[in-house]
Amino acid sequence: MFISSAFAQTAPAAAPAGGLMSSLTGMLPLVLMFVVLYFIMIRPQMKRQKEHRAMVEAIAKGDEVATAGGIVGRVTRLGEGTIGLEIAPNVEVQLQRTAIAQVLPKGSLLK
């Protein structure tokens, strides 16, 4: 009726020994792209994360810091995952340690 008969095709001949080499050569650009991606993007990001983690762990009471949101202040309290930051006389905010973007040199804040 509407469906025509399907004829079976013969299977292609087995690939010669050089077929394995050509398939590996075809995958070479993909492997090279991953290696380049690792060295350009992934590795530097992991290095920055490691440096930030070390900086956050080294924060001590009295350090002057800047947050990711741009707030600067002096560390007054240290908790397990939080810190107390004095941003003005008698004004203290509590922040997560990971919100600290950088530790400023001593004397950076005006009194």
pLDDT value at position 23?
79
Whether the Cβ atoms of residue 72 and residue 104 lie closer than 8 Å to each other: yes
Asked whether residue 14 carries a pLDDT value surpassing 60, the answer given is: no
pLDDT value at position 57?
93
- Among 50, 53, 48, 45, which Cα is nearest to 98's? 53
Q: Can you tell me the mean pLDDT for 47-68?
A: 94
With H, G, I as helix, E, B as strand and everything else as coil, classify residue 49: helix
Query: How far is the C-alpha of 23 from the C-alpha of 63, rounded, in Å?
Result: 58
pLDDT value at position 104?
94
Asked whether residue 51 carries a pLDDT value surpassing 90, the answer given is: yes
The overall longest dimension of the chain from CA atoms, in Å, is 93
